[in-house]
Amino acid sequence: MNTFIKNLILLPALGANLVVVLTGTATAQTFTNLHDFGPAITNGIYPAGGLIISSNTLFGTASGGGISGRGTVFAVNTDGSSFTNLYNFTEVGQGFTNSDGAGPQAGLLLAGGALYGTTPIGGSSGNGTVFAVNTDGSGFTNLYNFSALSANTNSDGASPHAGLILSGNTLFGTAALGGSTGAGAVFRLNTDGTGFTNLYSFTATSDPLLMTNGDGAYPQAGLVLSGNILFGTTTGGGRSGNGTVFRLNTDGTAFTNLYAFTAASNSTNSDGGSPRAGLVLSGNTLYGTTFRNGISGRGTVFKVNTDGTGFMNLHSFLAVSGNNINSDGSYPYAGLVLSGNTLYGTAFSGGSYGNGTVFSVNTDGTAFTALYSFSLVDTNSYTNSDGAFPYAGLVLSGNTLYGTAKNGGAADDGTIFSLLVPPQLGISLYGTNIILTWPTNAAGYNLQYCTNLDAAPVWNAVHPGPDPVNGQNTVTNPISGAWKFFRLKQ
């Protein structure tokens, strides 16, 4: 049973009264290594994609290993038990061709009992596939083979590195290469494999080094959908060659470059560059990460409105000392997950030991916290107890974050982990009341108050209880009477 307290907030009150509230969280998080990949290569190795959760089961991909060494689709219980290789991708031949795909880099999409994903290589032309497989491992189907390239161009795109999203019976995704200019494409495809459409081919870049253009190039991230509008990022292109945030209608019309990351000097700038991850949407705001640049050249967390206004660098990761050590992490490859007003993510390297971090930051850029730093690896075997170099993002269920580390662990083949994080208690002023909020998925937490913090404070349950509003437990209290101290108690 834990109590989570962070800092005092003094709110203006009616007359001479004040309300004092203790909010937030400050306690060590509980990290668990749920699964070590390897040492047998047939178990799968190097998980580069994120996880999805259904009931008590996590599903994901490993970019290597399996029976043929070309990657797997796996399932594991949220307590780490019953790990199962659901599908083993087959060996590739000349030109990296095979019948099903190989080397999956992205996570999966679950819909109607089927898992949908992509591979960046393999398939009939060696340029990747879109696939489906049932959650029990049966019924694998190669839904689409990306076509051969000629002078780096083709009609549909090539090398999809990102996962898929679904609307109705239509899958949407990105291809990092190919398309009419070789700079990548946005595509859609029906869940039965029919109806493939190249919605948009990014325009040619100025040259291989500058990579500038008007719209962006080389999308390595997935998409987010709002109504009939797709939002995404590109790693290159834009006016400075440092990537863009874009929008596009689901029918391929109305492409708009919402934001182009600025030029960098000595790898630094004010906003970041080369976003390799997708976005998370809340209301009219998009949140994301950039892999590099920013104030110290180590990447950023940012937000921008869906109309392209209001860009804000929420956090620039700090410079590192020897062995890539800093306090917060560096080079965030992956995107974010949002709970209430808190964003959670991973940084590929940096942290206390240089092997990456799990972090949180508020949506206004305050309260950045390195929740966990992956531990030192053995200098000879590169193994450790928890994993290293988290390449993928996180999934949140209740108060638990689940993720993968691409390396480290018992065999240096990567891990699956969980991290328990307490909910954050938010507060806002509304007229003559204060509004207290915390996530509805934070099971088992109750709001309590006391009127003083002496040696033995008496905590009481707040009545009436919370009302759920837009995924937040909400309690309204008047600003009157004695001071009150609030906490969440589990």
What confidence tens digit (pLDDT) does each residue in 114-164 have?
A: 999 999 999 999 999 999 999 999 999 999 999 999 999 999 999 999 999
Rounded-to-integer distance, Cα 100 and Cα 85, Å: 16
The whole-number average pLDDT for the span 6-22 is 44
Distances in Å between the Cα of 396 and the Cα atoms of 98, 224, 226 are 35, 17, 21
Q: Give the chain's mean pLDDT.
A: 92
CATH superfamily of 30-420: TolB, C-terminal domain (2.120.10.30)
- Is residue 432's pLDDT more than 80? yes
Question: E-strand spans in 261-379?
Answer: 280-282, 285-290, 300-305, 312-316, 337-339, 342-347, 357-362, 369-373
The domain ranges of the chain are 3-25+426-489, 30-420
pLDDT at 25: 41
- Is residue 468's pLDDT more than 70? yes
- Is residue 423's pLDDT more than 80? no
Q: How crowded is the C-beta side of 470, counted as CA atoms within 13 Å? A: 7
Distances in Å between the Cα of 487 and the Cα atoms of 5, 104, 164, 434 are 7, 44, 40, 14
pLDDT at 29: 63
Six-digit token string for 417: 């982990």
SS3 322: helix
CB atoms within 10 A of CB 487: 19
- Is residue 6's pLDDT more than 80? no
Rounded-to-integer distance, Cα 342 and Cα 479, Å: 26
- Is residue 27's pLDDT more than 70? no
- Is residue 180's pLDDT more than 70? yes
The whole-number average pLDDT for the span 93-105 is 97
Report pLDDT digits (tens) over 227-263. Answer: 999 999 999 999 999 999 999 999 999 999 999 999 9
HEC-encoded secondary structure of 77-105: ECCCCCCEEEEECCCCCHHHCCCCCECCC
Q: How confident is the model at residue 443 (pLDDT cuts 50, 70, 90)?
A: confident
